[in-house]
Structure 1
Amino acid sequence: MKSFKNITGLAIAIALAPFSMSAQNVYVNQLEITENKTTSILFPHPIEAIDLGSPNVLAQRVPGTENVLQIKADTSAFDETNITVITSGGSLHQFNVRYEPYPATCYFIINKSGVLETVQSVIFNETNPVSVFERAYKAIRPQNGKVSKEKVGKVKAVLQGIYVKDNNLFFSVSVQNNSNIAYDIESVAFVVKDRKQAKRTAVQENVIVPIHASSAPKTIRGESSIHVIYTLEKFTLPTTKQLQIVLTERNGGRHITLKVDSSDINNSQSVNIK
């Protein structure tokens, strides 16, 4: 918790500054947060100002981004409060925030109507979005390719392939649990970091929030596996940066990191949707 507080100074400074712009659109959403997980919200426009209704809530704009807000509770319980965020263009987003020890998800996106949606509920913006997604998923079947892999104990994660279609990148990930102990996935984070970190310099990180994830169980039972496709908005990396896909185990230590280089993304395969 202390590390989150230390990097929250900028957000608090923004929050204390008076709002100098008038809101053209006002949106109200409900939000549940906890102290053991960080909630990420992707806004459609850059964040201009933040106001926290209670010191029991911590918030920061992700360094290196303009439209991703991270939120966390500073205590195990608190009375319902609110967070107000103003984005460029004069949109005001108010979140009625309450404490929930086990929120259903910690990854959200604000759609064009100002509604807070979970990553899993975000579908492609096309005429027939569901069928487009289903066709993309069928086209990206589990394969034997290995862009990146890591094994911790008897749990192995493999990035089987990276695919591209229009403005989306698809990351095909499989996780195999060869142990008798279930693997509970607490979070999956996509983080851009410097490939080489000089001593005594600050770590530069940029969190990329997926805009969609195919359905998959959060628990991988013993002697079983899952396959998940994560959809991210198209991007590339300089050779000095690296994408890390971090899988964190709930109440465990079998955390896995898949490392992806810029060349892996540049060599993404085209998705042939029929």
Structure 2
Amino acid sequence: MKIIINYMLLCLLAVNTVAAQNNPKAIKLSNAEVMPYEVELTQNKTTHILFPSSIEYVDLGSSDIIANKVEATSNVLRLKTIKEGITATNFTVITSDGKYYNFNATYKLEPLQLSYDLTKFEKQNNKQQSEVLFKDLGDTSPTLVDLFMKAIIKKNKKELNIKSKNYSVEARLKSIYTQDGKLYFHISIDNKSNLPYIVDYISFKIKDKRTGKRTTIQEVSLKPIRSYSDAQIINSHSKQDNIFMFDQFALSDKQMLIIEINEKRGIRNQTLKIKSADILKSKQKSNVDYITIDSDTMILKDEGYII
């Protein structure tokens, strides 16, 4: 009996396989192909590729080529071969904005070009890149996160009155927004002095309020998932706005969020203190959405912001 049942299942599987092959509605995987860039590599010279955003992931199709991010940057990849006349291969790059890049690499003793600027290329050719989703962003695409941050910067609305001023430099938490389980902090640094302000680091810590001299203060450091800008220098008499994105959290009445902005080799440090009530008053932007105008143009419905 068991043999008969197994035979019937095998026949059913064979029928389904033939039906799928003859189904005119079957989708060919080639229709989903990510078109590759073509690049020539060599052993005695280094090829550099400039990406529009920070490089998050690199996978090489062969050990005959080597690739490294340039130490002083986050969006430049350098490549070369380990020997002459290697077999054609490929490599893949994913950037922090969720873009997926595929390259076909061939060997050439003297490549015609050694430097590639994909930022310039994509603007000129309106090339639409495939997009990936990052675990830390959940179901929200990196493109939509970027659009939302830009909309906050453009709106530039002062919802909160939390600020710190020291030696002609003022830091201000302008607003807090919430969207899809994330919190967005809009921080502005205004350098009114004659000297550039170089940011050493910006830290975010949840601390217990001091209730007594003998009370042990608990401290938890928070790391942003994303930030709008990586710029570290605010020139004299200029202002810089940034957005920091976190997983949603709440504070108790006995806790505070401390944001510390420290100057490199300086004393113009700033401290912003955020209470539980400030977090709970974060603005809900549940209607944030975008309309695709063409392959490279999107518009936020609620802000009228075009990118």
**TM-score scaled to structure 2, two decimals?**
0.48
Deviation of 1:269 (Å): 0.2
Query: Counting helix residues as a fraction of each chain, which structure ranks higher?
Result: 2
Q: Mark the CA change 1:103 to 1:207 in structure 2 (over 3 Å): closer, same or farther.
A: farther
What residue in structure 2 maps to residue 234 of structure 1?
248
Counterpart-to-counterpart distance in 2, 1:152 and 1:145: 22
Counterpart-to-counterpart distance in 2, 1:119 and 1:206: 26
Q: Does residue 1:273 correspond to 2:288, yes or no?
A: yes
Q: C-alpha root-mean-square deviation of aligned residues, in Å? A: 2.7
What residue in structure 1 maps to residue 269 of structure 2?
255
Q: Mark the CA change 1:104 to 1:196 in structure 2 (over 3 Å): closer, same or farther.
A: farther
Q: Mark the CA change 1:118 to 1:181 in structure 2 (over 3 Å): closer, same or farther.
A: farther
| Structure 2 SS opposite 1:133 | helix
Alignment of 1:36-115 (within 5 A): none
Query: Counting strand residues as a fraction of each chain, which structure ranks higher?
Result: 1
Deviation of 1:230 (Å): 0.2
Q: Does residue 1:140 correspond to 2:155, yes or no?
A: no
Q: Equivalent of 1:152, from 157, 166, 169?
A: 166
Q: Equivalent of 1:124, from 120, 137, 151?
A: 137
Unaligned runs of 5+ in 2: 1-70, 75-93, 99-133, 290-307
Q: What is the letter of the counterpart of residue 288 of structure 2?
A: I
| Structure 2 SS opposite 1:185 | strand
Is the 1:162–1:172 Cα contact (8 Å) retained in structure 2? yes
**TM-score scaled to structure 1, two decimals?**
0.54
- Which has the higher relative contact order, 1 or 2, with Cα contacts under 8 A spaced 6 or more apart? 1
Alignment of 1:175-190 (within 5 A): 175-190=189-204
Is the 1:239–1:262 Cα contact (8 Å) retained in structure 2? yes
Q: What is the letter of the counterpart of residue 192 of structure 2?
A: N
Q: What is the letter of the counterpart of residue 251 of structure 2?
A: L
Deviation of 1:119 (Å): 9.0
What residue in structure 2 maps to residue 221 of structure 1?
235
Deviation of 1:200 (Å): 3.3
Structure 1 vs Structure 2: percent identity of aligned residues? 30
Counterpart-to-counterpart distance in 2, 1:172 and 1:161: 5
Once the two structures are superposed, residues 56-101 of structure 1 have per-residue CA deviations (whole angstroms, 9 ceiling, x without a partner) of xxxxxxxxxxxxxxxxxxxxxxxxxxxxxxxxxxxxxxxxxxxxxx
Counterpart-to-counterpart distance in 2, 1:160 and 1:175: 10
Counterpart-to-counterpart distance in 2, 1:165 and 1:273: 8
